[in-house]
Structure 1
Amino acid sequence: MNQRPPSCSLRPSACPGLLRIVPALDGGICRIKLAGGSISSAQAVAVAAAAEQFAGGVIEATNRANLQIRGIGSAHAALIDSLLATGLGPRTAAGDDVRNLMLSPGAGIDRHMLVDTRPLAQQILATLQSHEPFHDLSAKFAVQLDGGEALAMLEHPHDLWLSAFVQNGERRLAFGLAGCPTDRPAGSVALDDGHDLVVAVLELFLDLARPEQTRMRHLLVEYRVEDLLARLARRVAVQAVVDWQRVPHADVLHIGSHPQADPAFVYVGAAPPLGRLAPAMLRGAAQLAQEFGDASLRFTPWQSLLLPNVRLADAVEVIQRLQGLGLQCQASHPLTGLIACTGSHGCAKGLADTKGDALQLAALLQRQGAALSVHLSGCPRSCAAAHTAPVTLLAIAPGYYDLYFRDPAQPGFGTLHARNLTIEAAATLLDALSRSPLDA
């Protein structure tokens, strides 16, 4: 259906959406929020076509498992209508900003999942879009729903997170405010009360927050968690969580072939270089999903993509063809561990060409046989990484960076290790440290 959703007035915001294209140095940006990170092959082809026809042909996978098109020219309405026609838009215009619900990329297929979170996610997303008071939430206000999968990003902070666990033989949802699932939970609810909990938390936030308090962390400066829990307990049955805390899986599971809950199938993960896909790359991946999978792609918070439900016998061919498209399917390749923001070519705040410098760094690390998780940030805002990477190179001038190592005792990027490094000097230093526990 090629029509705009009802209630098309949009509030001012610097955050791009599908219906709000915001300007950047390299043109407009349109962000497409994907339900659970999933997109059909037909929708992916439509995104590729829109990027070619109305923009500069740059598609980015984001760290919230969404897609965005960069370099958009003046044909905003035509681009938006082409995407709406494929069903990628919100139910209402005002509901686009608040569709911020992140699932594990392995939802429903992960061998280790305790709960298939997709039905609950659909219920939550419907309420976020249809319940008008929730449209007053910030475009950055975000919820995470974790089903206990091994393939799960557990380091991104969210305003509300829910994580499946088992207590006394009962599957429940632990939850926390303004943090990550690896934090100690604030409490838990029965599995069937997950939707009611989300509604209660969001309504409570809107009841208590002043206009300038746009995120849960702002509210927690003024209210203790215990006070908020007492108020929540009047709306939903909350229990304490005893002797449980979420533990992340140690292996790299978003790259390469990995078994699903059904042993006849695998998912295949592939990383576009620095999260950027050319239209031909996205179109080719969509074709492979149609031919070998279930005609869908899943995007991940690692700025990569998955082809789910691939038969085990087809995995090798799928990997070969993905690599032929320019996607990387080997976790040991340096590019799969690098994150870089748009940098000075696309952002006025960027102090260096982070994308170009990251490609140079990857080539140097590959020559040296080193593979590390490194984040190149053009400014202190850290737009490309929602979590603190083990290693951060913060641009201070074109081609020059300060080097930080993650330190839980330090805020921001961590501990400053070296200043004013060229990419060559950074590669040499990181190579010397590549056998240290930095990348753990």
Structure 2
Amino acid sequence: MLAAMPPTPPPTPEPGEARIRDRGDACPGALRLHPADDGRLARLRLPAGRLTARQAGLLAHAAESLGDGRISITSRGNAELRGLGEGCGADLAALLAGAGLLPSPTHERVRNIVASPGAGLDGLGHADVQLWARALDAALCAEPRAASLSGRFLFVLDDGRGDVAGLGGDVSLIAGPEGSVLLRLGPEAFRLAAEDDDTAGDDTADGDTAADTAVVSASAGVPASAVAVRAALVAALAFLDAAEAAGNGAWRPRELPDGHVPDWAGALARAGITAEPVPVPPLPASPPPAPGPLGERALHVLAPLGRLTAAQLRALADGADELRFTPWRGVVAVGARADRLPDLEAHGLVTRPDLPSVGVSACTGRPGCAKSLADVRTDALAAPAGPLPVHFSGCERRCGHPHGTWVDVLATGDDTYLVDGVPTPRTSLPEAVTTARSLPTHTR
């Protein structure tokens, strides 16, 4: 049977002190269900947000047969099922395993990989990092020690356009021109050196060809995806070495105390990876793709408040080669063409950038979460359009909030909110949010 593990609030460090965590994180997974007011919650890691059409259909079936009929998309492009029954764990695990969505029971919570959702589709990036994500997932699952990573440790793979580079990755790979790769590790950065072309297919996974899993070099000596994937895994293991030495139970590198910075350079060198330390460049940055066509053979749509019904998920999978859940709580339907947009809009999906719900997100709120002070999802549905993202939170934990610049709408009671810190009655929310979304600068 699968245990439902209640969350344990972490101790709060004094100013200037490193956080001390005296137990593993209780982040939910597909095999570790979390109790909530609306039933059990399962979080399913989808590296790069990827689902085949068959997997999407089985996930929709799981939501209907075991949960509340909906699939939530997280800010990491993962999937959550809510309203699960008390004894459904074994059935859920069997269904997900049969769909190929649980390749490693021991590693299922550490497969946190975000990759540029438009990679390989619209010609804007330097490399198809979606393929890198598949190779990194296989490498993580094959490394026994990687199972010790926290369920919050994050790998970010940006194809160079800058859409996901700023999402707070613990290990980030950023593709550059002419096959270059930048490895960012907090305050340090490394340029990965070139390798011979005959290494390009070393990361081939079972059932895949080298063309499926390697970045094709533009010229001789350009780094292949195998180099980037190996470097990312080595960096993660170097963090585990530093966390073990520090003894404070750190879940992520930024929680390590002074004097316990991972020996990134040494770990890369010992693994035979030539990496040149470079000054940390500014992160590339670009906005998420607008809802609508993405290149000539894909569509990008948003799920209202980040939740899909089972019927909506099936509609997206209809005629698509694969789906990619995005960190902006949307879905890229690969292989779908623009003539599908009217049908998807009829299913209630956000298919145009001029709709008010673009850029609006919310936590679960009441009645699903006992900590929430308000039904924030209902209030979020009335949020007006604006250029900035806005997130409605039912309590100060602000679960699922966006990264970077966003408008903070925090419930303080049934009918009262703070909008970027300004007390606001519920009846005045639309006006206050309109003003906040139009301001030129915000910082978080």
CA distance in 1, matches of 2:120, 2:413: 45
Percent identity (aligned): 32
Q: Out of 197, 202, 221, which is 2:231 matched to?
A: 197
CA drift at 1:428? 1.2
CA distance in 2, matches of 1:87, 1:61: 19
Q: Where in structure 2 are the equivalents of 1:181-196 lying within 5 Å? A: 186-190=189-193, 191-192=223-224, 193-196=227-230
Q: Out of 317, 326, 332, which is 2:354 matched to?
A: 332
Q: What residue identity is the alignment partner of 2:369?
A: C
Aligned to 1:258: 294
Q: Is the partner of 1:397 in helix, strand or coil? A: coil
CA distance in 2, matches of 1:128, 1:343: 34
CA drift at 1:371? 5.7
The answer to whether structure 1 residue 304 and structure 2 residue 326 are counterparts is no
Aligned to 2:41: 29
Aligned to 1:403: 419
CA distance in 2, matches of 1:439, 1:429: 15
CA distance in 1, matches of 2:406, 2:94: 41
Pick closer, same or farther for the CA change 1:422–1:224 going to 2, 3 Å. same
Pick closer, same or farther for the CA change 1:320–1:202 going to 2, 3 Å. same
Aligned to 1:181: none
The answer to whether structure 1 residue 273 and structure 2 residue 304 are counterparts is yes
Q: Out of 80, 86, 104, which is 2:99 matched to?
A: 86
Answer with 322-331 or 341-350: which moved more: 341-350
Pick closer, same or farther for the CA change 1:306–1:17 going to 2, 3 Å. same
Residue deviations 1:246-293, cap 9 Å, x none?
32224x51411132xxxxx23211112101111111112212xx2xx3
Aligned to 2:429: 426
Aligned to 1:215: 252
Contact 2:67 2:84 in 1 (8 A): yes
CA drift at 1:119? 3.3
Aligned to 1:411: none
The answer to whether structure 1 residue 165 and structure 2 residue 176 are counterparts is yes
Number of equivalent positions = 386
CA distance in 2, matches of 1:242, 1:75: 50
CA drift at 1:185? 5.6
CA distance in 2, matches of 1:204, 1:211: 16
CA distance in 2, matches of 1:333, 1:104: 24
Answer with 325-334 or 211-220: which moved more: 211-220
Q: Is the partner of 2:75 in helix, strand or coil? A: coil
Q: What residue identity is the alignment partner of 1:198?
A: A
Pick closer, same or farther for the CA change 1:238–1:304 going to 2, 3 Å. same
Q: What residue identity is the alignment partner of 2:174?
A: S
CA drift at 1:228? 4.0
Q: Which runs of 5+ in 2 are unaligned?
A: 3-22, 194-222
CA distance in 1, matches of 2:258, 2:366: 35
CA drift at 1:149? 3.5
Q: Where in structure 2 are the equivalents of 1:124-135 lying within 5 Å? A: 124-135=136-147
Contact 1:374 1:389 in 2 (8 A): no
CA drift at 1:70? 0.4
Q: TM-score, normalised by structure 2?
A: 0.80
The answer to whether structure 1 residue 355 and structure 2 residue 362 are counterparts is no
Pick closer, same or farther for the CA change 1:357–1:396 going to 2, 3 Å. same
CA drift at 1:432? 4.0
Q: Out of 239, 263, 277, which is 2:276 matched to?
A: 239
Q: Is the partner of 1:20 in helix, strand or coil? A: coil
Contact 1:114 1:164 in 2 (8 A): yes
CA distance in 2, matches of 1:279, 1:56: 9
Q: Is the partner of 2:72 in helix, strand or coil? A: strand
The answer to whether structure 1 residue 282 and structure 2 residue 313 are counterparts is yes
Aligned to 1:145: 157
RMSD over aligned CA atoms reads: 2.5
Q: What residue identity is the alignment partner of 1:87?
A: G
Pick closer, same or farther for the CA change 1:220–1:148 going to 2, 3 Å. farther
CA distance in 1, matches of 2:251, 2:145: 14
CA drift at 1:301? 0.3
CA drift at 1:325? 0.6
Pick closer, same or farther for the CA change 1:433–1:17 going to 2, 3 Å. closer
CA drift at 1:297? 1.2
CA distance in 2, matches of 1:324, 1:438: 35
Q: Is the partner of 2:57 in helix, strand or coil? A: helix
Q: Is the partner of 1:39 in helix, strand or coil? A: strand
